[in-house]
Structure 1
């Protein structure tokens, strides 16, 4: 027999339903949304003054609570999956760093072998952040592993991952970019652009070849100048692309986020974390790849050089910040952290929405977007 959840609001793909009941079937799927309960219903959970929203989808996350995907550790992958439920995340893409081909081969194989043993947030693919970047905008990526894009390498990663690779980031000024993007698209892999000194025209050519995401907008890319629009200008002006935002208040000023929202719109702005292993761990020394990192005052920075080294942001905090900064309503911010990221990598049929017959992965929030509970397949898995 189905269970019904009463809520003040239920956030859907393009609307908010007020004062309604959400059905969750015994199979752990979403059912109907009704204003009145059917007869003889016995199983009801009352979230009368709260909001029910789709589980969040983090398509750019390196680690959490002491573990990093590049550790190549199955237990670490499972721990990240479990703990992301405390952040409202029910689906994610384990994200790699620029590293050797051999190391990336091993990590792709590890995820393929172990992702189905994860009991928390669901692994929906793999995001390869690099290694085909440009040294000038290396950020916290290791330049000794950077090179021109290799179709052979991507083909091997797809094979070793069992087809899980569904997103890869490259710098569009490298040699061989156009055939690489065309190959990736043919394999169902979304090409993202980042860590790049590309001109506007180089970025535009990459988008015309099939690239469709700009990762962590403004960070690690050539900036906007009125005579040289650069990567930022391309990300703000080209059609039919998604722009990722790290809404932690450190990577991007809220006014710059507002500019991005006006340019890209609510449907093409994607909230991500770019979180590294120090997320959820407090201040102190940590590590990203081969580099030492100092976590202090809400930021993670390389000990040597001081560059931002990913973030320690939790995705629900990004949602809350967008609301606090008055850049979005709760429902708009939720979609930027659920539906939009799912759409950006083509997994919207599986997650990111409250929609009949898909897995009942959802969260419960108060009116300030504070997380109250996380459900996976209709089962309560985290409660504040």
Structure 2
């Protein structure tokens, strides 16, 4: 029997449509119809709801009391399952600056086991560090900072079965330009982060192939009218993406709006930078080797500096709309299609298009998550929204 999803609004590859029926065929998206093309169809009824592509988090360190750096397969599985409650169907497990040996072990664990997870799908590994500068260290361990090393990247690729998808560095470090060219040629997306680079150096890095600015405004040289810095580069350089953490702690909504207006909402990428305390009560946790206190919705080091976030990507979408800086269509795009495009996986996820895995989320018009589907199967359902499947 043919199978369809009915809803009031669909955020499709080519725009917003609905009410209508979206075909689900063998775990993949089929065509969209305004009217049901057959009377003998199984219809999943979400009248009054919205259907959007599954969200894609390309910068996340942990969730549900598990951290990628714990190098624990069970923890990786728990993160994958837990992210379904955030509306996330694809993600990049993200490392921290650490010893070469531990990083080797972590990327090997992910590269060997990523197909075993049962929840949100792992699309690659994001190495956040260790090629950073001390001035903008954030919650990264300066003991392990070093200049970019092609040999280290080759080692990580070998251990991970060539699963490194994205790597961040400070472009002012020695050898950065040569490293960028090599990495991009190796199909690794290069991001710029934790850097005091001038605008000119950031521009050089982009011309060599770097294409993402990591958690824009945070951990980088700011915008000054005589030295635009990393922030200015993130806003104005062509053909790049700028990450933003819309939790209300990392960036003021007005600053996020300025970035979105300057960069464009199709090149702005919502990320969480979530650490292990995501989905957990307030209290004391760890981020890598550092103790962190989660209080009043923010995760901070003992120094008071922010240490990642506890943001869920579904909340970032809602925040941007509630703050009045994005429409629902724009916010959903920045949390699904834009992240996928930023790392070159938009051919397989991040949008509702014929032939793609039927990974999607069900939202209320107030952008509350109702359900998360993987391959056309409901894998998470919010307690307050008990949907029903049946023939209309």
Deviations 1:2-52 (A, max 9, x none): 311111000023410121100001x20000100111223330111111100
- Residue 154 of structure 2 corresponds to 155
Would you say the 8 A contact 1:330–1:368 is kept in 2?
A: no
Deviations 1:57-84 (A, max 9, x none): 0000000010000000000000000000
- Residue 240 of structure 1 corresponds to 239
After TM superposition, give the deviation of residue 143 of structure 1 in Å.
Answer: 0.2
**Unmatched runs of 5 consecutive residues or more in structure 2:** 383-392
- Residue 341 of structure 1 corresponds to 339
Would you say the 8 A contact 1:13–1:335 is kept in 2?
A: no
After TM superposition, give the deviation of residue 146 of structure 1 in Å.
Answer: 0.4
Distance 1:13 1:4 in 2: 17
Distance 1:290 1:92 in 2: 23
Q: Does 1:20 find its partner at 2:29?
A: no
- Residue 133 of structure 1 corresponds to 132
After TM superposition, give the deviation of residue 378 of structure 1 in Å.
Answer: 0.3
* Large movers: runs of 4+ above 3 Å: none
Written as runs of structure 1 = structure 2, the 5 A alignment for 1:225-304 is: 225-303=224-302
Distance 1:23 1:152 in 2: 47
Deviations 1:190-220 (A, max 9, x none): 0000000111111010000000000000000
- Residue 117 of structure 2 corresponds to 118
Distance 1:336 1:14 in 2: 15
- Residue 305 of structure 2 corresponds to 307
Distance 1:42 1:337 in 2: 32
Task: Please report the RMSD computed on the Cα atoms of aligned residues, expressed in angstroms.
Answer: 0.7
After TM superposition, give the deviation of residue 307 of structure 1 in Å.
Answer: 0.6
Deviations 1:104-158 (A, max 9, x none): 1100100011111100000000000000000110000000000000000001111
Written as runs of structure 1 = structure 2, the 5 A alignment for 1:31-42 is: 31-42=30-41
Distance 2:136 2:367 in 1: 34
Distance 2:3 2:111 in 1: 34
Distance 1:199 1:206 in 2: 11
- Residue 3 of structure 2 corresponds to 3
Distance 1:2 1:299 in 2: 46
Distance 1:39 1:312 in 2: 45
Distance 2:23 2:127 in 1: 37
Q: Does 1:99 find its partner at 2:101?
A: no
Give the counterpart of 2:318 among 320, 325, 342.
320
- Residue 356 of structure 1 corresponds to 354
After TM superposition, give the deviation of residue 237 of structure 1 in Å.
Answer: 1.1
Across the two proteins, how many residue pairs are aligned to each other?
382
Would you say the 8 A contact 1:136–1:197 is kept in 2?
A: yes
SS in 2 for 1:43: strand
Distance 2:8 2:369 in 1: 15
Would you say the 8 A contact 1:69–1:76 is kept in 2?
A: yes
TM-score normalised by the chain length of structure 2: 0.97
TM-score normalised by the chain length of structure 1: 0.99
SS in 2 for 1:259: helix
Deviations 1:252-309 (A, max 9, x none): 0000011101111011000000000011111111110000000000100002x11100
- Residue 195 of structure 2 corresponds to 196
Distance 2:46 2:80 in 1: 26
- Residue 178 of structure 1 corresponds to 177
